[in-house]
Structure 1
Amino acid sequence: MRILVTGGAGFIGSAYVRRALAPRGAAQPPRITVLDALTYSGSEANLAPVAGHPGYTFVHGDICDPDVVDQVMAGQDAVVHFAAESHVDRSIDGAGPFVRTNVLGTQVLLDAAVRHRVGRFVHVSTDEVYGSIAEGSWTEDAPLAPNSPYSASKAGSDLLALACHRTHGLDVVVTRCTNNYGPYQFPEKVIPLFVTHLIEGRTVPLYGDGRHRRDWLHVLDHCRGIDLVLHGGRAGEVYHIGGGTELSNRELTGLLLEACGAGWDRVEHVADRKGHDLRYALDDSKIREELGYAPEVSFTEGLAATVEWYRTHRAWWQPLKEGGRPR
């Protein structure tokens, strides 16, 4: 199987590629082409473990460039589309790059996939497209009500992908996940930001009173869910992928402080983010019942392993915090 992975040098995309190309007995690994623009949060260092794999090809290019996309789309059996601008705070500061990459870039990819008659297009999205939910959880048919420029751009790309299925017959499947964590995550996100700050002896910034709630999903469980959807999901459908561990930001902060041997004196309460959604929660019973999905990494074990990874990979994250590239 030939798979084009967009954004494959980023956090989740690189985890997907590393997992897909890992040895699995007699199973034949796919042939993967990674297309990545290598913006601030993407690095070929994230793909170093598979750099010499015979089934791996890297192309440095922008999903908004129709010529590059047309070249890499030719001959592909499937697309797994991770490429996106994804940091809410950055989208509040300036929405333009988010609209360009997340909306226009997705449309360029869809157009090329239709031209080249790609067999399946997996569009990777987020729970943030639904807005905030006070109690209960969203099912896949819940209305979209995004509250940030980032989530609005992702909602737009979701709708474009599903419209392409209905209009052109492209085999599109959309996944929406909860908050990911794990190794190689860019240190602007809360877990790697807090862990690396604590390792450096710095304080950590907790928004407001820390009551905002999120469900946490290990990146490898997310990748397992995406693979299940790639091979068994129904065309034109949306599938939720959850982790099953809901915590307030204050509860998460307490766990990170404990894991790093620090106290609450290292926490600095900062002004809340504009339009900050209070709670996200996905009902993932559809993927569990149809495709047999279940998270395998417990949050306790996954968080401990993640903290240890950042503790032992300072050469990877410290240059990023200084505006450079991993060593």
Structure 2
Amino acid sequence: MAILVTGAAGFIGSNFVLDWIAHHDELVISLDKLTYAGNLANLASVASNPQHLFVQADIADTDIISELLSKHDVRAVLNFAAESHVDRSITGPEEFIQTNIVGTFKLLETVRTYWSALDEKPKAEFRFLHVSTDEVYGSLSKTDPAFSETNRYEPNSPYSASKAASDHLVRAYHHTYGLPVLTTNCSNNYGPYHFPEKLIPLCILNALSGKNLPIYGDGQQIRDWLYVTDHCSAIRRVLEAGTLGETYNVGGWNEKANLDVVNTLCSILDELKPRADGQPYKTQIVFVKDRAGHDRRYAIDATKLERELGWKPAETFETGIRKTVEWYLANQAWVSNVTSGAYRDWVSQQYQA
């Protein structure tokens, strides 16, 4: 028996693979297309582990995935594969449509064919877990209650619209074909192996490099922050005991404004790696033109997950952000490896003061 993890070399996918191998002894098949954010260095610690098999492929490659499912008696597919950066979806939405919608459709079709042919017991025990985002719910005002699983979908970016479409496909495959699916919608993740175009790793990298720390608009956009290993533990729990066809919101109960997040990591850097000139890192903060259609607030109500499955996050924002900064300081070789020339060109283009 085995599990198949798509998008396994990305930020959340790789953390999940490492976390799963630490808790289980079955084979993990890691599948990733290895686009700009897929990094095999994330999986270096399990590269020679006989419990781990890496395959470079697209989730739309039905032949490869069909062969892997059958050859290894896969009992669960966990779909992390997605184009996920809002800014990139604004400047180039087509890749998001192809991966998040068409790719998910083809993956579902391949999995449905495999699942339909299984014997009664493995067919009943099989699971397809789809990892999604809170951004499908749209934006909240300061006084709105946090997103629950019953909120209607109101996506506002090409990224969130493409993820919303993928969620609907997963739901439809359960209700139409009986495919045993589970969906999780998470808040903003942070932690090790985060590609440095997102807020926290970008600001850590720029702070240490003496560059500006770019903050969109007034910096008061609010997000709920979820440490990535907490997300992994939630997914493990949903896979183990979640009700088929149900959606579970996964959040960290940590609503923070973007500016507050950056000020916090600056304070930690001041303590752990002070600037040579003695100045605080927050002096590097600059405010840049706001993102088009920037959602003001996201917040996750994870009560259902706690009530039904007994899950709660282990990390507070304060403990998680400190662990994150410490990881980046201790893994500068990894940072250097991912910050290629193409990446630097993207950042300079995107964050114009």
Please give the range of the TM-score, normalised by the shorter of the 2 chains: over 0.9
**Could you say what secondary structure the match of 2:165 adopts?**
helix
Give the counterpart of 1:285 among 303, 313, 319: 303
CA contact (8 A) 1:73 1:112 kept: no
Q: Of residues 36, 39, 43 in structure 1, which corresponds to 2:39?
A: 43
Work out the percentage of aligned pairs sharing the same amino acid. 47
| Correspondence for 2:266 | 257
Partner of 1:177: 186
Pairwise CA RMSD: 1.3
Output one character per residue of 1:8-56: Cα deviation in whole Å (capped at 9) or x when no partner: 111100111001111x5xxx52211011001111111101111122211
Q: Does structure 2 conserve the Cα–Cα contact (< 8 Å) formed by 1:199 and 1:311?
A: no
Q: Distance in 2 between matches of 1:60 and 1:122?
A: 20
| Matching residue of 2:89 | 91
Structure 1 CA distance for aligned equivalents of residues 50 and 305 of structure 2 = 32
Is the contact between residue 253 and residue 300 of structure 2 (CA under 8 Å) also seen in structure 1?
no
Q: 1:296 to 1:309 in 2, by over 3 A?
A: same
Structure 1 residues 193-243: Cα deviation after superposition (integer angstroms, max 9, x where no partner): 000100111111000111100010000000000001101001110000010
The alignment partner of 1:77 has SS state of strand
How many Å apart are 1:324 and its aligned residue?
7.4
Secondary structure in 2 aligned to 1:97? helix
Asked if 1:65 corresponds to 2:22, the answer is no
- CA distance in 2 between counterparts of 1:234 and 1:316 reads 38
Q: Distance in 1 between matches of 2:185 and 2:154?
A: 14
* Residue number in structure 2 paired with 1:52: 48
In structure 2, the partner of 1:13 is: 13
Confirm or deny: 8 A CA contact 1:179 1:215 kept in the other structure: yes
TM-score (norm 2): 0.89
**Structure possessing the higher radius of gyration over alpha carbons:** 2
Check whether the contact 1:208–1:272 (CA below 8 A) recurs between aligned residues.
Answer: yes
Aligned to 1:120: 127
Aligned-partner residue type, residue 14 of structure 1:
S
Cα distance in structure 2, aligned partners of 1:104 and 1:263: 43
| Cα deviation code 1:96-142 (max 9, x no counterpart) | 00000001111111111111116100000000000101121111011
Q: Is the aligned partner of 1:132 residue 2:139?
A: yes
Q: Which runs of 5+ in 1 are unaligned?
A: none
1:206 partner SS = strand
The DSSP-based 3-state class of the residue aligned with 2:223 is: strand
Deviation at 1:322, TM superposition (A): 2.4
Q: Is the 8 A contact 1:69 1:108 kept in 2?
A: no
Match of 2:291 among 273, 286, 295: 273
Counterpart-to-counterpart distance in 2, 1:264 and 1:43: 30
1:310 aligns with 2:328: yes
What TM-score comes out, normalization by structure 1 length? 0.95
- Aligned 8 A contact 2:207 2:281 in 1: no
| In 1: Cα distance, 2:194 partner to 2:244 partner | 30
Are 1:29 and 2:29 an aligned pair? no
Equivalent-residue separation in structure 2 for 1:67 and 1:186 (angstroms): 30
Distance 1:78 1:191 in 2: 32
Find the residue that maps to 1:121 and give its secondary structure: strand
| 5+ long unaligned stretches in structure 2 | 116-122, 271-279, 344-353
- CA deviation after TM superposition for structure 1 residue 313, in Å: 1.1
Count of aligned pairs between the two proteins: 321
